[in-house]
Structure 1
């Protein structure tokens, strides 16, 4: 039954809905992900006034790193290998396409999460799909917000927390021979220390680990490309030709290439699933569109950069041969391919990368679970503490147990989670466009750093306390505007 539901949701319904809405958001926003691509870098720049906040808020960069921690995981290493094995090299082209489209979806869901966030007494924020469903769609949709929160807790807070623990423990066993029981115990302790420090500590850990793991993986891929630079044009041509069925006997043909590319791309970047908006809402930014633009960039990092790293490692290697059947797949194919370039230590490198990707994803999943509870009960310390203890226990137990059935169940609940979020995005597209146009108009008027005035959007039931910009930040922002370029 679980397999049938997964096939229906992920093989048919969600692919059509996610691609369809992504195209609608792209065209309706006049290709916002491309129009503001350059601003993605500026927003994260060192001179950006709001990155200097001293009041305990999380920065835009910290929120970006936390969301990348969740998006980047096993899908970037094992998922890409599966896509190539079953769909041929052409699957990578369609993975790129779905990533570019998904950037628009991510922009809108994260912009809405920012707009409808709530201010917390400790200087942080809470938000996400449950909040923009309840506040943006009205009281009659409160049931959907509650269902979404329960699904988020079950899928990420419980299911994927345990599953990622197993992935980390087994990668340690493969790389160093350390028993999964020992890894599970250590993992539980480390996650507990991080989780009980709250969202600020979670963000600080992600801020350090995510750039290290992403840049490290990128550098090894760049090294592989440099070593095989003369093959790059041929590999790119192979990817494009295979995407349109112009290469014979590769994978399962054009249909398999599209299906696997789209499916693996969606699994990897999570655009439209509603998970990243829970993290996007915590940032202290001058305008909701700022975080929408930044989070669109996180999809680019995940799919267009890191997934491509794995693809080139495999396609430039000697282990995978297009059109030739192979018994090696998943992580093993990526490991063997990297080893063919740099030697046997490449296998260990992939195991370490998978471990780091999995570890940061656990942190992210635990935060999502905690955030889901906040919808039902604000600042309920006993409830939050109970969840944190359960999450720590799941990390220890999950590290020692193969949870195949749990994985299938979590996939189903994630599918329904995505449908709930996508319904909300479709219904809130007009408010999202209105917020985007406010940003566009300020840019057109020559304002380098647009500021959101919540009073102009009072009809949207936005929490005004969440948009109280600190006076010194406004002063810095004004000073930055007046300085010559």
Structure 2
């Protein structure tokens, strides 16, 4: 075994141990803990998740973005090639029951997503053009008082998303072309694909946060709607097969003999892993997008990001699962010999014909492209945390990121991807510990939000109203009042006059 193969093998073993025995348990425990502590906020406030999407920006600035745009940036990163090929792999490897556990963990994980995104809003910072930045590095620094740990988190995130996962997304997108091209033509096609993806990404990332949010606000909804439409068509046209599909899912999900016979590779474990890794709830990535939204209360964006988890897993991943499972019950012998992208392509071909294969190929590229942009957005926010607004450094960083995309499209970079998984695992552990330590402030913000909602008000957050809360860069009384729209100003004027929670 050569040295590179040895590194791939060792890093793969570390990756497997970290996720299976440490991170997965933490993610589940934290999700259940905050589901209980928030009284299932991810279920109680489902209506508010949708109403808050349309909230207008509360801070004007040429680069500030709306709640909906922040939702689309986070969804762009969550929804990638894993939602198509990854789900098929989980079903092929673990069994049809994986889809049940995947959905269950999306609901549980949405509580963690709420907490981390609310914290990101509370400890966000404002840039010179009115834009906001934030995320785990920022609340680790400000609320826990450790810039060093914040920098470490940022480094791990940059290595994971900008250099690891973006290479993986580019490679997966290019791999979808294998259906159309003979083996000898693939290297040239990969080079062309890498150039196209790099150029398209460059056109967006050199435009800054505002352009990123605008592009993702277009690409993500269009592709999600089209993908859901194909899945619905598959489901409706095969409606007589649905009883068999659901029977298969539930019998597999609760096959306890199989589950406890080899839990690490069981349908439960694979379903939980696929759900958590796909929606990234609690892993510390989506809060970087959540912090950028201009809203009147942190909880509003916490709820919106919980909705992003549902969009990713309960909607997109379930669509992939339904298409594959219909194929599975109709032609189990053919499905048993396929995995990953080929399984999805043949499943769609089974329902809508060859046109479905072309659509899936296009969907892979579109989802990969949106993920490239969303992942870069997270990396840039954390680079700015480390080094500020150095234009020269930012330009060099962008060029390096584009080279990684090109390289990823043309090479199977197994070691880098194993390392990216490890970096994300370490990053997630840091974030989960941080939100356990800081979660009480998100819970306090939720209580504040609920009290104002009960009083019939559009909630407005003032950090000074929460006793003992560590210093924040935003959310102070006069600042919130000055940037608020007229109804907010009137409400805060009244709050000052009535000695709102001792602020007078």
Same fold at TM > 0.5: yes
Counterpart-to-counterpart distance in 2, 1:385 and 1:346? 40
1:393 aligned partner = 403
Query: In structure 2, what is the equivalent of residue 416 of structure 1?
Result: 426
Aligned residues of 1:160 and 1:407 also touching (Cα < 8 A) = yes
Checking the alignment, whether the CA contact within 8 Å between 1:318 and 1:340 is kept in structure 2 is no
Matches within 5 A, 1:54-453: 56-138=63-145, 141-172=146-177, 174-175=179-180, 179-245=189-255, 256-318=266-328, 326-447=336-457, 449-453=458-462
CA distance in 1, matches of 2:173, 2:153: 28
User: Given that residues 71 and 269 in structure 1 are in contact (C-alpha distance below 8 angstroms), is that contact kept between their aligned partners in structure 2?
Assistant: yes
Residues 154 and 413 in structure 1, CA contact (< 8 A), matched pair in contact too: yes
CA–CA distance in structure 2, aligned partners of residues 135 and 254 of structure 1: 38
Instruction: State the match for 1:475 in structure 2.
Output: 486
Query: Is this contact kept in 2: 1:163–1:407, CA < 8 A?
Result: yes
Residue of structure 2 equivalent to 1:43: 52
Change in CA separation of 1:347 and 1:247 when aligned onto 2, cut-off 3 Å: farther
Q: 451-460 or 425-434: which moved more?
A: 451-460
Secondary structure at the counterpart of residue 136 of structure 1 = helix
Output the CA distance in 2 between the equivalents of 1:143 and 1:72: 31
Decide whether the 8 Å contact of 1:59 with 1:285 is kept in 2.
yes
**Alignment check: 8 A CA contact 2:462 2:476 kept:** no
Instruction: Show structure 2 runs of 5+ residues with no match.
Output: 1-9, 493-504
Instruction: Provide the C-alpha distance between the structure 2 equivalents of 1:132 and 1:355, rounded to a whole number of angstroms.
Output: 34
Q: How many pairs were matched up?
A: 475
Could you list the runs of 5+ residues in structure 1 that have no partner in the other structure? none
Q: Displacement of 1:7 after TM fit?
A: 1.3
Q: Secondary structure at the match of 1:428?
A: helix
Question: Structure 1 282/334 Cα, relative in aligned 2: closer, same or farther at 3 Å?
Answer: same
Give the conservation status (yes or no) of the 8 Å contact 2:53–2:67.
Answer: yes
Provide TM-score, normalisation by structure 1. 0.92
For the residue of structure 2 that corresponds to 1:451, the secondary structure is coil
Distance of 1:4 and 1:187 partners within structure 2:
31
Change in 2 beyond 3 A, CA 1:309/1:51: farther
CA distance in 2, matches of 1:97, 1:269: 12
Would the alpha carbon gap of residues 253 and 88 (structure 1) be closer, same or farther in structure 2, given more than 3 Å must change?
farther
